[in-house]
Amino acid sequence: MLVVEDDARLRGLVREALEATGHRVTAVGTGGDALLRAVDGGIDLVLLDLNLPDVDGIEVARRLHADGEVPIVMLTARGDVASRVEGLYAGAADYVTKPFELQELLARVHVRLRERGAGEGAIERAGLRLQTDVRTLWAGDAQVTLPEREAELLRLLLTHPGRVFSREDLEARLYGDDLPDSNTVEVFVYQLRRRIRALGVADPIRTVRGKGYTVL
Amino acid sequence: MSREAADGRAGTTVGPGPGTGTGQGTGTRGRTAVAPARARHLRTRLGLIVLGSLLVAVVGTVVLVDQLFGRAQRASLVDLLERDLQRVQALVAAGTLGADFVEQGAGGVRLQFVSNAGVVLLAPDATDPIPLAPTPVRSVTGERAELVGSAAWLLPSGLEIGTIRMALDVTEADADRATLRLSLLFAGGLLALVAGALAWVLVSGALRPLADLARQAVAVDPARPRLARYRGPEDEVAELARALNVALEAIAERQQAERDALAEVAHELAAPLTVVAGELRQLASAHPDDPRVRAAREAADELLHTSQDLLTLARGELDRAPDLSVVDLAAVARGVVDAYPGVTFATDGADGRVFAQPDRLRQVARNLVRNAVQAAGAERVRVAVEGGAEVRLRVEDDGPGMTPEALARVFDRYVSGRAGGVGVGLTVARRIVASFDGRIEARSEPGRGTVFEVTLPGWSSQVEGESAEA
């Protein structure tokens, strides 16, 4: 696990707390160091301060994200909606606003790690099994191969049960910086639902009025 | 206390709506009622002024025209009468006019020959004598109006034996004049009405941007002033709009500066606060029996939470909460209550799940519970959650309660009910609740405690299944 935080005391506190819960932690104070360490690999989660002395945290996130599928949890004192969305576009999986309670941070980290574990190989939920590496969706013996973005959409929904993904949120996660036309997410959801129903099972995707989509 | 008793009390409700900011309900409503009424009044007034002054002008013109026309009409009639009289006089004096002429009684003209002794001679209508009028005068008898004139009755010998009197019927001329007067009045009145209506319409049009501005000014959220939009010609109203925007901009700048400063302070405090609270928590779990460590930990937590509240306010925008997930409000409330020994917790066991951000929801519950504990002491605070299509969190205390004035301002920023409090906890709670499409209500009476009730839409009421999409 990589902790990137310029405040030495906070960095120490977070590292100790993570180590106390059994993680191996590398802690650095600059964006440059973070990118250097990331090259070595073997990282399953990055805790990233947005406000770094050398490289902007968003930029670090963007480069880390471009290198691989490591979940990034942003730490920030800003926390406004605009910078949160910016973080999402840069590839952040979650956002923790400073000041925070240690347990809050640990809880988020565990959720992200669990999702990452769940996201590898196959996810099973609601009578569906999604084989992420080959993008194959199974319902009993029936199967269908999903287009890349629909598979990613379904993976997000299945690995975050109960979480509502807004349209903007999904756009940021599915497209990163190249924004699609306004209704593409709806089209994906519609097609995904059609394919799921064609497998002969109930569609687990729920529309939350005015808020987005979720799987319960 | 019973639910009914609580409901009967003075209450204040704040929920999501056009202005979910800190705009205080009552004040805003009061202003809304006044401004547009004024605008309409001005419009009517201007319309009436135009109508009134045009009517006066029309009446004046009609009177003038009537007088001039009357005078001209009379002059020509007098002229006619005198010429006829002279002709008759000349004919009589020449001896070429006989009684047969008189009896013909040309249309509308009466001619009488009156002797010096006053006896009407040579006239078919001798019973209806024409008065003597050396200069022509009007003579009205009954319905008939006549112009009357007279001339000397001379014999060919030059002897004056009486007067020739002539009466010209002017009833028709009078009627003409009356018709003219009426047509003028009618046309003028119509013109005035049309002009008045036109003025009303034009003024309405001119005032619409003004009324629009007034509406926008009333709707300005004092927490987040948005510039007024102006659509209309470059006139005084445009100037007013610019002036209003200059003021709004100054306010917005000032508020942004305050927010920036607050965010800056919070940012500086964020890391050390996190460290202090985190280290103290670990210290407290290592020394669970040391009251000093526990007190320090609680103080640090409180500092942390207060600065989280301040940051929430400083960020300003919480219209729509991001990152929603299904959260059990009962579980959240129970977790908060656990940190306040003495506070009781109850739930009806119904589904208490809502769409929210867990940490923000915890902030709401914590702020309400903390507020109640500070007002009444933990032993007198009860927390309850009711599930269902609407999920309710109720925090009741038997504390000193609030006056209606205090209650009306309870959600206002920096208004604290107690000494030493910052007064942001309830403001933050309200904002967060509104960002989850919920509402928060407060009921209180002095001496009878206070109830805060948060209502959020239950998760199931917001979800559409596949049937709705098909």
For the segment A113-129, what is each residue's pLDDT rounded down to a tens digit?
887 766 567 788 878 88
Chain A residues within 8 A of B434 when measuring between CB atoms: none
pLDDT at residue B344 in the model: 93
Q: Do A80 and B355 touch (CB under 8 A)?
A: no
B294-317 tens-digit pLDDT: 888 888 888 888 888 877 777 665
* CA B381 to chain CA mean position, Å: 45
Mean model confidence pLDDT for chain B:
80
Nearest-CA distance A203 → chain B (Å): 6
| Choice among B128-137, B216-225, B371-380 with the minimum mean pLDDT | B216-225
Q: Rounded to an integer, what distance in angstroms lies between the CA atom of residue A69 and that of residue A158? A: 17
Q: B417 falls in which pLDDT band (50, 70, 90)? A: low
Considering only CB atoms, A162 lies closest to which of B281, B325, B464, namely: B325
Chains A and B form CB pairs within 8 A to the count of 118
Pick the more confident residue, B159 or B34.
Answer: B159
Nearest chain A Cα distance for residue B45, angstroms = 47
Most confident among A113-117, B51-55, B126-130 (mean pLDDT): B51-55
- Say which residue, A24 or B319, is predicted with more confidence: A24
Q: Are B373 and B334 in contact (CB under 8 A)?
A: no
The span from the CA of B309 to the CA of A97, in Å, is 12
Q: Which residues of A touch B468 (CB under 8 A)?
A: 207
Report yes or no: B366 and B395 within 8 Å, Cβ to Cβ: no
- Whether B155 has its CB under 8 Å from any CB of chain A: the answer is no
Is residue B385 within 8 A of residue B352, CB to CB? The reply is yes
Predicted confidence band at B18 (pLDDT cuts at 50, 70, 90)? very low
Share of chain B above pLDDT 90, in %: 16
Could you give the CA distance from residue A47 to residue A95 in angstroms, rounded to a whole number? 9
Does residue A183 carry a pLDDT above 60? yes
- Kindly report which listed range (A135-144, A149-158, A171-180, B429-438) carries the lowest average pLDDT score: A171-180
Q: Which of A23 and B24 is assigned the larger pLDDT?
A: A23
Euclidean distance between CA atoms B121 and B136, whole angstroms: 21
Q: Which of the four pLDDT bands, split at 50, 70 and 90, describes residue B20?
A: very low
Closest residue in A to B282 (Cα–Cα) = A17
- Is A66 at the interface with chain B, CB within 8 A? no
When mean pLDDT is compared across A37-41, B23-27, B364-368, the lowest value belongs to: B23-27
* pLDDT attached to residue B32: 41
Contacts of B271 in chain A (CB under 8 A): 7, 9-10, 77, 98-99
Q: How many angstroms separate the CA atoms of B229 and B241, rounded? A: 8
Domains and CATH numbers, chain A: 2-118 (3.40.50.2300), 121-215 (1.10.10.10)
pLDDT at site A38: 83
Find residues 135-194 of chain A whose CB sits inside 8 Å of chain B: 160, 162-164, 166, 169, 190, 193
- So what's the pLDDT on residue B16? 44
- Give the highest mean pLDDT range of A176-180, B414-418, B419-423, B438-442: B438-442
Are B275 and A9 a contacting pair at CB < 8 A? yes
Per cent of chain B over pLDDT 70 is 81
What is the pLDDT, as a whole number, of residue B385? Answer: 95
- The pLDDT tens digits of the residues spanning A59-113 come to 888 888 777 678 888 888 765 666 666 777 777 788 888 888 888 888 888 888 8
Residue of A74, A98, A115, A170 best to disrupt the B interface, most CBs of B under 10 A: A98
CA distance A138 to chain B (A): 19
Q: What is the DSSP string of B109-171?
A: EEEEEEETTS-EES-TTTTSPPPP-SS-EEEEETTEEEEEEEEEEE-TTS-EEEEEEEEEE-H
A199 close contact with B: CB closer than 8 A: no
Q: What is the pLDDT of residues B321-331, one digit of tens each?
A: 667 889 999 99
B277·A202 Cβ contact <8 A: no
pLDDT of residue A180: 62
| Mutation for A interface: B460, B466, B467, most A CBs within 10 A | B466
* Cβ atoms of residues B84 and B109 within 8 Å: yes
Residue B164 is predicted with a pLDDT of: 86
Give yes or no for a contact between A77 and A162, defined as CB atoms under 8 angstroms apart. no
Helices (H), A21-120: 31-40, 57-67, 81-89, 102-119
pLDDT bracket for residue B347 (50, 70, 90): very high
Burial zone of B42 (CB within 10 Å; 0-12 exposed, 13-18 middle, 19+ buried): middle
DSSP line for B399-438: S----HHHHHTTTSTT--SSTT--S-HHHHHHHHHHHTT-
Chain A: residue nearest B270 by CA? Answer: A99
Beta-carbon separation of B324 and A212 below 8 A: yes
| Cα(A142)–Cα(A127) distance, integer angstroms | 11
Query: Letter for the amino acid at B300?
Result: A
* Nearest residue on chain B to A165, alpha-carbon basis: B323
Q: What residue type is B371 in one-letter code? A: N
Angle between helices B236-286 and A8-20 in degrees, nearest 10: 50
Other CB atoms within a 10 A radius of the CB of residue B469 amount to: 15
- Is A36 in the B-facing interface, judged by CB distances under 8 Å? no
Other Cβ atoms less than 10 A from the Cβ of B241: the count is 22
Subunit contact B304:A99, Cβ cutoff 8 A: yes
Q: Say yes or no: B462 contacts chain A, CB-CB below 8 A.
A: yes
CB atoms B267 and A81 under 8 Å? no
Q: Which of B141, B153, B139, B137 is nearest to B85 (CA)?
A: B153
Of the candidates B341, B387, B366, the residue with the CA atom closest to the CA atom of residue B452: B366
In chain B, what are the domains?
1-23+319-463 (3.30.565.10), 225-316 (1.10.287)
For residue B92, what pLDDT band results from cuts at 50, 70 and 90?
confident
The reply to whether residue A80 touches residue B316, judged by beta carbons under 8 angstroms, is: yes
The answer to whether residue B14 scores a pLDDT higher than 80 is no
Ranked by mean pLDDT, the top range of A167-171, B211-215, B313-317, B434-438 is B434-438
Residue A122 Cα, gap to closest chain B Cα (Å): 23
- Confirm whether the ipTM is greater than 0.85: no
Q: What is the mean pLDDT of residues B1-30?
A: 41
Give me the residue from B263, B304, B320 closest to A101, CB to CB: B304
Alpha carbon of B415: minimum distance to chain A alpha carbons (Å): 24
B460 in contact with A, Cβ within 8 Å: no
For residue B103, what pLDDT is reported? 52
Q: What is the dihedral of CA B163, B169, B170, B172, to 10 degrees?
A: -170
Q: Which of B16-25, B64-73, B179-188, B438-447 has the lowest mean pLDDT?
A: B16-25
Please give the DSSP secondary-structure letter assigned to residue A146: P
Interface test with A, best of B256, B275, B320, B332 (most A CBs within 10 A): B275
Any A CB within 8 A of B259 CB: no
Other CB atoms within a 10 A radius of the CB of residue B147 amount to 21
On the question of pLDDT at A195 being above 50, the answer is yes
Contact A99 B269 (CB under 8 A): yes
Give the pLDDT band (50/70/90) at residue B40.
Answer: low
Contact call for residues A25 and A19 (beta carbons, < 8 A) = yes
Q: Which SS3 state, helix, strand or coil, does residue A141 take?
A: coil
pLDDT band (50, 70, 90) for residue B171: confident
Q: Any residues with CB less than 8 A from the CB of B99 and at least 6 apart, and which?
A: B122
Sheet of strand A205-208, all strands in order from the earlier edge strand to the far edge: A212-215, A205-208, B463-464
In chain B, the residue whose alpha carbon lies closest to the alpha carbon of A49 is B271
DSSP A126: T
* Of B31, B424, B425, B458, nearest in space to B217 by CA: B31
* A149-181 pLDDT tens trace: 888 888 888 888 888 888 878 887 777 666 666
> Least CB-CB distance to B274: which of A95, A98, A169?
A98
B325 with A160: Cβ contact below 8 A = yes
- Closest chain A C-alpha to B437 CA, distance in angstroms: 10
